[in-house]
């Protein structure tokens, strides 16, 4: 009988480190647009800087994932990535130069992509179990929430420099947990062979294929929504005057995701997978509508509920599908592909939004009307690829 969780101590260490690192990272990233605004950066330039940062998150994941498959040593990448991320808050303490900040963010994205291979190792150790995957997603979302709340309070009282220092301390603590993670490739590979899965569409046991529709769906969903979320603090600034209110609203999304991810890990089954996946993409359309209509605290509050539910369902079903259709020999590559699709959508969508703001109209609300079509495209693509996408391989 195969154990559900391999190297359980390492699984716990991964969960703790992921929570702490996300907390530390989001103390900086949640309010980065506002920080750039405080430095006197024009809105379109803020969008361009954020886009350059996001570009690193789609350039590197599939390359690094491919090489982690080839080397079969995930921990090597995780340590390098986490160590590199520590430099970001440290360097931000000593510069206000926009060019240097942009360079720092570029390298932060590169190291964050390297560190993200921790999820690939985690999914192997929990043998692609949706319940355990939900724990990882929930704790990273909780880290996002706590980080945004801490940042909102401390920025309001002390300013940005103290937040950078706290983020640095958090990154170092996360690194300590990472160092003690154990990776035994032989146990992972042997367990995968003993607990094989079969793709009912093509009956291939060793090299399961992932439908390309998932990459296009993820790309267009991210293209339309993530650029807006990246500058949401600026949009909220048009209607809200308190950093504490902004911090609460920004953090509410991941707090809701924390509970939703855990719930979804228990609700998603082979029978209802189709309904959950499609609804996650379809509800993404309502997210942009929510932000277009929001004009006060309560409007943004409702919008964050929509964001949380849509993202939780969409991302949970996507990761479950990818994890269960891959093996230890190709998992890093395919998870890298889906991360690349998401962040490519973020970056190119961000560039598109920035160009709209520069050449069409500098009003964020007018620009958002152009973005609403992309979640619609994503939903159509997911529906067209339903035969392959909505099938979860069976264990044999």
The torsion region of residue 159 among left (phi > 0), alpha (psi -120 to 50) and beta comes to: left
pLDDT at 244 exceeding the cut of 80: no
Q: CA-CA distance, 115 to 279, in Å (whole number)?
A: 30
Candidates 371, 365, 378; CA nearest to 310 is 378
What is the pLDDT at residue 251? 72
Check if the beta carbon of residue 266 is closer than 8 Å to that of residue 272: no
The residue behind tokens 């899965």 is 197
Check if the beta carbon of residue 109 is closer than 8 Å to that of residue 55: yes
For residue 99, count CB atoms less than 10 angstroms from its CB and return exposed for 0-12, middle for 13-18, buried for 19 or more. exposed
DSSP codes, 219-274: HHHHHHHHHHHHTHHHHHHTT---HHHHHHHHHHHHHHHHHHHHHHHHH--TTTHH
Check if the beta carbon of residue 167 is closer than 8 Å to that of residue 32: no
Candidates 367, 213, 343, 228; CA nearest to 284 is 228
Q: Pick 69 or 203 by higher pLDDT.
A: 69
pLDDT at 175 exceeding the cut of 90: yes
Question: How is residue 226 written in tokens?
Answer: 């993530």
Candidates 118, 58, 53, 107; CA nearest to 85 is 107
Total residues found in the chain within this entry: 396
Neighbours of 159 (CB within 10 A): 12
Domains of the chain: 8-395 (1.20.1250.20)
Residue 357 carries which DSSP code? I
Neighbours of 157 (CB within 10 A): 10
pLDDT in tens, 131-166: 899 999 999 989 988 887 888 788 878 888 888 899
Check if the beta carbon of residue 334 is closer than 8 Å to that of residue 210: yes
Grouping H, G, I as helix, E, B as strand and the rest as coil, residue 395 is strand
Q: What is the CA radius of gyration of the chain?
A: 20
Check if the beta carbon of residue 232 is closer than 8 Å to that of residue 252: no
Question: How is residue 96 written in tokens?
Answer: 């206000």
pLDDT at 77 exceeding the cut of 90: yes
| Mean of pLDDT over the chain | 83
Q: CA-CA distance, 270 to 4, in Å (whole number)?
A: 18
| Residue 394: its H or E element | strand 394-395
Q: CA-CA distance, 251 to 229, in Å (whole number)?
A: 12
Q: Return all residues near 377 (Cβ < 8 A) that are at least 6 apart.
A: 220
Dihedral sign for Cα 356, 361, 362, 366, please. Answer: negative
Question: How is residue 53 written in tokens?
Answer: 């940062």
pLDDT in tens, 289-346: 888 888 788 888 888 888 889 889 988 888 888 888 888 888 998 998 898 898 888 8
Q: CA-CA distance, 90 to 20, in Å (whole number)?
A: 17
Least confident of 26-40, 139-153, 261-275, 378-392: 378-392
Residue 154 carries which DSSP code? H
| Residue 197: its H or E element | strand 197-198
Residue 392 carries which DSSP code? P
What is the pLDDT at residue 51? 72
What is the pLDDT at residue 2? 46
How, if at all, do strands 197-198 and 394-395 pair? antiparallel
Average pLDDT rounded to a whole number, residues 184-197: 76
Q: How confident is the model at residue 4 (pLDDT cuts 50, 70, 90)?
A: low
pLDDT in tens, 99-108: 899 899 889 9
pLDDT in tens, 305-316: 888 898 899 888
Question: How is residue 128 written in tokens?
Answer: 């692609």
Grouping H, G, I as helix, E, B as strand and the rest as coil, residue 198 is strand
What is the pLDDT at residue 218? 92
Write b or e for each residue in 378-396: b if 16 or more Cβ atoms lie within 10 A of its Cβ, otherwise e.
bbebbbebeebbbbbbeee
What is the pLDDT at residue 13? 95
Write b or e for each residue in 189-221: b if 16 or more Cβ atoms lie within 10 A of its Cβ, otherwise e.
eebbeeeebebeeeeeeeebebbebbbbbbbbb
């Amino acid at each position: 009988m195969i154990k559900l969780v391999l190297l359980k101590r390492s699984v716990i260490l991964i969960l703790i480190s992921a929570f702490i690192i996300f907390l530390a990272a989001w103390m900086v990233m949640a309010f980065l647009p506002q920080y750039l605004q405080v430095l006197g950066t024009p809105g379109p330039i803020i969008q361009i800087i954020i886009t350059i940062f996001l570009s690193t998150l789609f350039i590197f994941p599939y390359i690094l994932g491919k090489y982690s498959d080839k080397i079969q040593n995930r921990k090597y990448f995780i340590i390098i990535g986490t160590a590199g991320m520590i430099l970001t808050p440290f360097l931000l303490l000593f510069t206000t130069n926009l060019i240097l900040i942009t360079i720092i963010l570029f390298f932060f994205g590169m190291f964050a992509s390297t560190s993200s291979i921790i999820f690939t190792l985690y999914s192997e150790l929990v043998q692609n179990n949706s319940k355990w995957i939900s724990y990882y997603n929930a704790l990273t979302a909780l880290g996002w929430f706590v980080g945004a709340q801490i940042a909102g309070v401390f920025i309001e009282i002390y300013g940005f420099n103290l937040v950078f220092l706290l983020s640095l301390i958090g990154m170092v603590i996360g690194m300590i947990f990472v160092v003690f993670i154990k990776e035994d490739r032989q146990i992972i590979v042997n367990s995968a062979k003993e607990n094989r899965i079969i793709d009912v569409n093509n009956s291939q046991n060793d090299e399961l294929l992932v439908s390309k529709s998932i990459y296009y769906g993820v790309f267009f969903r991210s293209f339309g929504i993530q650029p807006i979320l990246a500058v949401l603090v600026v949009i909220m600034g048009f209607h809200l005057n308190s950093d504490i209110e902004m911090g609460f609203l920004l953090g509410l999304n991941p707090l809701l995701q924390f509970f939703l991810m855990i719930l979804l890990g228990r609700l998603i089954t082979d029978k209802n997978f189709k309904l959950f996946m499609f609804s996650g993409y379809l509800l993404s359309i309502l997210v942009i509508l929510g932000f277009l209509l929001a004009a006060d605290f309560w409007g943004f509050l409702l919008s964050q509920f929509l964001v949380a539910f849509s993202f939780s369902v969409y991302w949970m079903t996507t990761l479950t599908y990818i994890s269960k259709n891959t093996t230890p020999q190709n998992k890093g590559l395919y998870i890298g592909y889906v991360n690349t699709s998401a962040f490519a959508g973020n970056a190119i969508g961000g560039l598109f939004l920035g160009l709209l703001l520069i050449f069409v109209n500098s009003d964020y609300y007018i620009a958002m009307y152009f973005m609403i079509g992309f979640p619609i495209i994503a939903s159509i693509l997911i529906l067209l690829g339903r035969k392959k996408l909505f099938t979860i391989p069976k264990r044999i």
